[in-house]
Structure 1
Amino acid sequence: MNKDLLLSKLWEQYMSITPSAKKIHALLEQNGEKIENDHIAIRTFNDMRVNISVLEKPFVNAGYVAKGEYFFESKKLYAKHYEHATDANAPRIFISELELENCSESLQNSVKVLLDTCDQNVFEKEDLVLSGAVWNANSYNAYASLLEESEYAAWMYIYGFRANHFTINVNALLNFKNLEELNTYLKDNNWKMNGSGGEIKGTPEQLLEQSSTLADLCTINFDEGAKEIPSCYYEFALRYPMENGELYQGFIAASADKIFESTDVKLQNLS
């Protein structure tokens, strides 16, 4: 699958459960903006059938190259980011995985059962990253059990393989000189922002500032009844020049750690 088709399919799938992203996109375009994408984030488990080395394949085949790696000890996550080898305008790809060996035996067993019950051929598909939950995710009790230990694992149980978020490149916006102005504009238009660690994560000194909306709520029809579960969110990134004058291309682990929480149901309850 070529790069443009892959990214387009990820966007379509993302919008299907994140209507706020489509509305924010339209709102900014009506304001005269041309939206550029900074990066796309994807989640997975570090099981050898679905780990980063598996999820990266369609991107590597489409011309992406691994650049940086990141560790999130408190959330038991490891991540890598990728940049396109020849297209400087292509969005970065950020793939994270839950380090199962650092989780409880109960959570490890739950994930193993999920993966074991799948048709194993599905893990060989080129479009696995677009496949959503390839297991049976109809138990609210299973979701709640995972949520007690790892919001990340609970989100994966419901939504599976897809873009967790897209990110607007704030540097390319015409009418906002900083992230604070953009956040204010969004809040004035009734969007709720992720306030964990402050609305703006990172500093100019760190060469990257980020903010994000809270995830949309999606109705999931569990065996136990319908429940609203946080789905995906929209992120905003402002990059600063390094000493050589080029914009910083990487990520700040401490900031990304708080961005992850945009899907946390606890923040929904506080907003």
Structure 2
Amino acid sequence: MTNVVGMAATPAPSDCLLIGDAASTLLQPSDKVPPVTQAVLASAFRAYAAATPAVPAVLRGVLRARYPLGTRLWHDHYAFRTFGVPGLGIESLGSVLVQLGYERQPDELTFPKKKLTAAWYAPSDKSLYDLGLPRIFVSELQVHKLSPEAQAVIESYIAQFKANPLQPATALGALLTRTLPWATPVASDYNALLEESEYAAWTLAHGYGLNHSTVSVHRLPAPAGQSAPLGVAEFTEHVASAGLTLNKEGGVIKSSPDGLLLQSSTVSDSVRYAFRCGIVADIAGSYYEFAERRPMQPGVDVTGETQRRDGFEVGNADKIFMSTSAVQQTDK
């Protein structure tokens, strides 16, 4: 590993406390969840939140400002991006997730226009959702479908993994520390990829760093002074009121055809990034997402997360991917 990704400013002390409190309460303590799994999930969130100003902004401007003191923050899922080439791709993270007690789900998600495929992982025992274990969404870029020029740029960084696949320990280290498993990119390579595939440029620069985490809005209690919990639409209005820019691709709220999975997100934070050869520039970093999973059987009292809509929706995810696009960054 050769580069600590980006040059995000150190969070203010008050933000560090918010992030630390949120990370320490992500999971309810339980002997059903291995300590290593708990530590990995908390550490990945902590590193991501420290590099993503939107996270403490939501914790401070929405959770702390509007909810009862001590409200637990639940996360619906984590999401990662990868290059779909031999030795990397979905399986390079999947091998880590399996060791942490996760199982790959049968859904195959494809995004032809973006040249992406994705898979998602759930705890082997889905009742562990109720203890706070998030789903894990892992996507990969179909590198072979890019132009020869873009393929050559990517190949120049990841060629070694064809003969020596990325080892689980290295993938885990990259995930936890937001450190690249390949050489620090030069700005010209990043910009060349950005012209063709925003996803490719983001992945080259940020590697296995957590792309986004997602607040499980339906698991939050009613805000202080209110009698009923908020849906994602109302929660998202509070996010906007806190000064964050929202992803408006396809509308602020993205809904699955069955109306049971509703999602929104911020536009990615801009981060200072140290490219090779001394160039420092602002590029798209990570963002924060918000989700509401509605009951599979309306009108029935819900006692656990498994009674709600599970999985992911291609139409929603396709628009959420745009949270790191140059167009959205320009509109901020």
Give the TM-score normalised by the residue count of structure 1.
Answer: 0.93
Alignment check: 8 A CA contact 2:110 2:314 kept: yes
Cα distance in 2 for residues equivalent to 1:184 and 1:130: 36
Q: In the alignment, does 2:129 pair up with 1:88?
A: yes
| Corresponding residue for residue 253 of structure 2 | 200
Deviations 1:69-121 (A, max 9, x none): 21111101000011101222310000000011221122222211111267976
Aligned counterparts, 1:1-271, within 5 A:
2-30=36-64, 31-32=67-68, 33-67=71-105, 68-86=107-125, 87-89=128-130, 90-116=133-159, 123-131=166-174, 132-174=179-221, 175=223, 176-203=229-256, 205-222=258-275, 223=277, 225-243=279-297, 246-271=307-332
* Structure 2 CA distance for aligned equivalents of residues 190 and 139 of structure 1: 33
Q: Deviation at 1:122?
A: 8.0
Identity of aligned residues (%): 31
Mark the runs of 5 or more structure 1 residues left unpaired by the alignment.
Answer: none
Label 1:201 to 1:129 Cα distance change in 2 as closer, same or farther (>3 A). Answer: farther
- Work out whether residues 76 and 214 of structure 2, in 8 Å CA contact, stay in contact via their aligned partners in 1: yes
Name the structure with the higher strand share: 1
Comparing 143-152 with 4-13, greater Cα deviation is found at 4-13
- C-alpha RMSD of the superposition: 2.1
Aligned AA for 1:54?
Answer: S
Residue by residue over 1:131-158, the C-alpha shift from the partner in whole angstroms, topping out at 9 and shown as x without a partner, is: 1322223411111100011000000111
| CA distance in structure 2 between the partners assigned to 1:118 and 1:143 by the alignment | 20
In structure 2, distance between residues paired with 1:112 and 1:9: 30
Offset at residue 173 of structure 1 (A): 1.6
Deviations 1:45-75 (A, max 9, x none): 1112111112111111111111122111110
Q: How many residues align?
A: 271
- Aligned with 2:243: secondary structure? coil
Distance 1:95 1:138 in 2: 22
Preserved contact between residue 244 and residue 266 of structure 2 (Cα < 8 Å) = yes
Paired AA for residue 45 in structure 1: F
Alpha carbons of 1:19 and 1:11: their partners in 2 closer, same or farther (altered >3 Å)? Answer: same
Q: Name the SS of the counterpart of 2:273 in structure 1.
A: strand
Gaps of 5+ in 2: 1-34, 224-228, 301-306
Q: Report if the CA contact (8 A) 1:46-1:97 is conserved.
A: yes
Q: Distance in 1 between matches of 2:86 and 2:102?
A: 21
Structure 1 stretch 255-264 or stretch 119-128: which is displaced more?
119-128
Which AA in structure 2 matches 1:21?
A: V
TM superposition score normalised by structure 2: 0.76
Q: Distance in 1 between matches of 2:194 and 2:252?
A: 24
Distance 1:141 1:224, change over 3 A: farther
Structure 1 residues 19 and 121: CA distance shift in structure 2, 3 A: farther
Change in Cα spacing, 1:204 to 1:106, as seen in structure 2 (3 Å) is: closer
